[in-house]
């Protein structure tokens, strides 16, 4: 791969302030191959710059040039760490030990990505090491309705062309937690067209079907014979408009896939390839699931870097996670976290150049 910069390491700068006047920092991590930018607002991945097969550098995640633009975006969760519970909880309600909890609602009577003021809309505090940044957030007891004071951490580490995210959390009261990153990728560059010609493969024989509100039914269904079968590399747009109930509900792909392999063990989850640029991204994770979202609800409301409107299918998300609505499905892998325990998970995004998906 061509080099973005031969100067490696981590730098930081003041990037603006939040509505309370708190300074928000921007961090830059560089290797010989890629440059990563992160911010304390939402522990957010702002930028991933890399070369294509011809040496042309582009940003392969959607993002903005300023904190102000992120503060103004109320819908997309662009690049943020979402929580306390990433994805959906039906009716914003669940029980722990016989006690019921009601969360703040923000998605057609359900709770999405932690509620109206989820972790992506909070200022985390960053601490720099040579090749990593650790972000920490304290979420008080009762925040968005969730029980327990939660201390959440995410460490972004850059080694060569691999970006590693290590999540952890502790609590002083039994709660539920599901942290993930909500970056939108476009391997042809954030100034380019849509992602429908990207080729994707997912290491999953099953997925969790949903109802019309995108809440899991509780079934673990086979992908075989459906347009949700990505066990072999397939163009994103090939079947996205098929007359399949699941695609109609979501207006495309917005589904949790049940990853093959052991939970809590690092395993290949996905490969994403852009034939136009030759860029390849692989995703490995210890999580049991991955949400493939094809940017169906991007509608041009927001304009990103270079004045480019973020319209439908402009980017796609690969969110490593526990399953949506797990607190209400006892047969799903548990998201319960108790005092004295620590939640850990790891996800690694590796960026490379290939002529085709291997």
Q: Taking the CB of residue 339, how many other CB atoms lie within 10 A of it?
A: 11
Q: Is cis: bond before 7, omega within 30 of 0? A: no
Is 354 annotated in the active site? no
Largest Cα span, the chain? 59
Dihedral sign from CA coordinates of 314, 189, 289, 243:
positive
Q: If DSSP codes are grouped into helix, strand and coil, which group holds residue 121?
A: helix
Per DSSP, the residues of 303-326 read B-GGG-B--TTS-BEEEEESPTTG
Is 262 annotated in the active site? no
Per DSSP, the residues of 67-119 read HHHHHH--SS-TTPEE-SB-SEEGGGEEEETTEEEEPPP-BTTBEETTSTT-G
CA–CA separation, 280 vs 23, rounded Å?
35
CA–CA separation, 206 vs 222, rounded Å?
4
Q: Indicate which residue of 113, 161, 182, 329 is catalytic.
A: 182
Q: Indicate which residue of 40, 199, 319, 329 is catalytic.
A: 319
**310 vs 26, 67, 248, 306, CA distance in Å?**
22, 17, 22, 11
- Taking Cα atoms as reference points, which of 161, 188, 133, 131 lies closest to residue 3? 161
Q: Taking the CB of residue 65, how many other CB atoms lie within 10 A of it?
A: 12
107 CB-contact burial (10 Å; exposed 0-12 / middle 13-18 / buried 19+): middle
Q: To which H or E segment does residue 245 belong? A: helix 245-250
- Asked if residues 346 and 278 have their Cβ atoms less than 8 Å apart, the reply is no
**Active-site residue set:** 182, 319
């Amino acid at each position: 791969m061509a080099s973005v910069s031969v100067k490696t390491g981590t730098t930081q700068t003041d990037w603006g302030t939040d509505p309370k006047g708190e300074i928000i920092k921007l961090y830059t991590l560089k290797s010989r191959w890629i440059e990563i930018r992160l911010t304390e607002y939402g522990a957010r991945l702002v930028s991933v710059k890399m070369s294509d097969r011809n040496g042309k550098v582009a940003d392969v995640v959607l993002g903005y040039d300023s904190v102000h633009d992120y503060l103004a975006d109320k819908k997309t969760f662009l690049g943020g760490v979402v929580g306390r519970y990433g994805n959906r909880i039906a009716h914003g309600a669940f029980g722990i030990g016989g006690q019921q909890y009601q969360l703040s609602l923000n998605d057609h009577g359900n709770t999405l990505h932690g509620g109206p003021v989820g972790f992506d809309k909070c200022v985390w505090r960053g601490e720099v090491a040579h090749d990593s940044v650790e972000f920490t957030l304290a979420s008080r007891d009762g925040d968005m309705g969730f029980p327990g004071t939660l201390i959440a951490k995410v460490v972004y580490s850059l080694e060569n062309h691999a970006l590693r995210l290590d999540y952890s959390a502790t609590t002083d009261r039994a709660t539920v937690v599901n942290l993930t990153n909500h970056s939108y990728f476009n391997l042809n560059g954030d100034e380019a067209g849509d992602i429908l010609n990207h080729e994707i493969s997912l290491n999953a024989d099953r997925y969790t079907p949903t109802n019309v509100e995108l809440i899991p039914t509780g079934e673990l269904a086979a992908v075989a014979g459906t347009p949700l079968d990505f066990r072999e590399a397939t163009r994103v747009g090939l079947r996205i408009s098929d007359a399949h109930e699941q695609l109609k509900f979501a207006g495309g792909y917005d589904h949790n896939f049940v990853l093959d392999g052991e939970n809590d063990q690092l395993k290949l989850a996905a490969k994403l390839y852009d034939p136009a640029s030759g860029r390849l991204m692989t995703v490995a994770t210890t999580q049991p699931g991955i949400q493939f979202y094809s940017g169906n609800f991007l509608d041009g409301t927001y304009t990103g870097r270079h004045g480019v409107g973020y319209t439908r299918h402009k980017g796609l998300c690969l969110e490593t996670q526990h399953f949506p609505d797990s607190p209400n499905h006892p047969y799903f892998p548990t998201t319960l976290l108790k005092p004295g325990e620590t939640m850990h998970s790891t996800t690694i995004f590796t960026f490379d150049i290939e002529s085709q998906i291997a």
